Amino acid sequence: MVTICGSLLIIMGNVVTTLVPIMYGPVDSSDFYITVDPISVEAIQMPEDSSLPSNIFTIISIAPKGLQQVNDSSPAGQVIHQAFAEVHDSQDGIRPYKNIVFLRVVEKPPEISIDFEHPQDEPTFKTRMFVYINRTNRSIADYPVTIQGIGGDGKRRNSTFYVYYISPQYYVEEIGYKNYLGGRYDRAMQAYEKAIELDPKYVAAWMAKGDVLCDMKKYSEAVGAYKNAIEINPRNGTLWVAKGDALAALGRYNESIRAYDSATEIDPGISAAWNNKGSALSDIGRYEDAVEAYNKAIEAEPKNANAENYKGWALFKLGRLNESVKAYDNAVKLNPNYSSAYNNKGIALEDLGRYYEAIQAYDMAIKINPAWDWPLDNKGWLLTDMARPEEAIKEFDKAIELNQTDADPLDGKGFALSQLGRYEEAINLYDRAIKLDPRMADAWENKAVALKKLGRVAEAEAASAMARKLAQPA
């Protein structure tokens, strides 16, 4: 009992020797400290009717606790989340700190501005903290912001929190673009949409969103993205070209042509606008107008191999075969590895009856791009016209191996087999072609010929009737 009483007396003595000097001593030991809820921040653009300058973003402060939504006193009446700073009395209830504490910012990045709703009061008090960031393309990662309380007795106490800010440009050019190049379209879209959320007038974000939507074959949505970009900057010809491309992919060729016209009105030197307008005009059969557009593209960009190639195709469709070959020659002169131009040149030469030159053109296309089945198929058909069926079969076999979903080389191989009198094998090939493309009139007609050669007249007549039906205009 004596031991316990002794211990209690010692404890009481320690309390008295500690508290009495604090409460009644000649030296003022009262104090304060500041806390800020740990926060991360991200920026959104201020509305147009805001009283703040247009180059200011409002920070949304995301705090794990003490979070409140404000509808009244926030700048421009905008609904935002606030961070809070709180000034505490270090010895509340023992020797209160009775001086006014004034809050200020003593360290921050130059883009950051901070206002306090109630910057001064006696502890303990809590104030909303408004955090702004100037529009900037520079991202800010874990940048320390230090606020300081200055007491009426001269005491100064600091508290530091960290700002983490990603600029809209960073979302587009770094996060979005890298994911786009990597084929991670969903992630790229998230980055572009985040940039748009941060800055709804960021044209590059809308355009990037449209581009990735096109790659995802979501052309209607892409048109909407490009339209939003154009509303922000209607004098950007590249945006009109992109919109035109998306419209053309939807088969809305007349609208796409109008978009390309808008681009060339802004800048007559946009070769892509003339070139793509030519393609749209070709798609609706306006080949004369297409040639004129391709000429404009070449005038704007004399080394535009694509425009020469497409011009060659439009001239071919007009029956101007020699001019067509010349355009293809220009294309391969500008781009010696242009397999499509060599293939198209082969088609034009074939129609001119210049078969050996056509084979040389097809061989160049095959050499440049051995994984492309079309020139192999074209060469196979030309060899059948030249009565060289064994060689033709080899070309068709290569084409079939490369593309097992194309009916044309199956039909061609069947035709070559028929030339060799191997009608049963030919009919098997025609049936395979028809299975892939039941509306392939040529395969039905070729099958009818082979059936007739075998004396299967009724089957031949049925196949021929189907071919005639399919050949009729829809």
In tens, the pLDDT along 248-276 reads 999 999 999 999 999 999 999 999 999 99
Residue closest to 75 by CA, chosen among 44, 42, 35: 44
Residue 293 has a pLDDT of 98
Contact at 8 Å (CB) between 145 and 105?
yes
Tell me the C-alpha distance between 213 and 219, whole Å: 6
Q: Give the angle 436-438-439 at the CA atoms, nearest 5°.
A: 125
Question: Mean pLDDT, to the nearest integer, of 461-465?
Answer: 97
Question: pLDDT confidence of 132, banded at 50, 70, 90?
Answer: confident
Q: Kindly provide the b/e burial profile for residues 194-224, where b requires at least 16 CB atoms within 10 angstroms of the residue's own CB.
A: bbbbbbebbbbbbbbbbbbbbeeebbeebbb
Residue closest to 409 by CA, chosen among 447, 375, 369, 452: 375
The pair phi, psi for residue 225, each rounded to 5°, is -65, -45
Tell me the C-alpha distance between 290 and 311, whole Å: 7
Tell me the C-alpha distance between 138 and 135, whole Å: 9
Q: Give the angle 360-366-368 at the CA atoms, nearest 5°.
A: 105
Q: Give the angle 337-339-344 at the CA atoms, nearest 5°.
A: 135
The pair phi, psi for residue 88, each rounded to 5°, is -105, 150
Dihedral over alpha carbons 412, 418, 424, 429 (to 10 degrees): 0
Looking at every residue in the chain, the average pLDDT score rounds to 85
Q: Where in the chain is the domain with CATH 2.60.40.10?
A: 28-165
Q: Where in the chain is the domain with CATH 1.25.40.10?
A: 372-474
Residue 38 has a pLDDT of 55
Cα 140 off chain centre by? 24
Identify the CATH number of the domain defined by range 372-474: 1.25.40.10
Q: Each residue of 77-129: pLDDT tens digit?
A: 222 345 788 999 988 667 889 899 999 999 887 777 788 888 999 898 999 88
CATH classification of 28-165, choosing from 2.40.50.140, 3.40.50.410, 2.60.40.10, 2.40.37.10?
Answer: 2.60.40.10
- Hey, what amino acid is at 50? S
Tell me the C-alpha distance between 362 and 349, whole Å: 10
Question: pLDDT confidence of 1, banded at 50, 70, 90?
Answer: low
Question: Mean pLDDT, to the nearest integer, of 291-304?
Answer: 97
Q: What is the largest CA-CA distance in the chain?
A: 130
Q: Give the angle 434-439-441 at the CA atoms, nearest 5°.
A: 85
Helix intervals (H) in 233-283: 237-249, 253-266, 271-283
SS3 111: coil
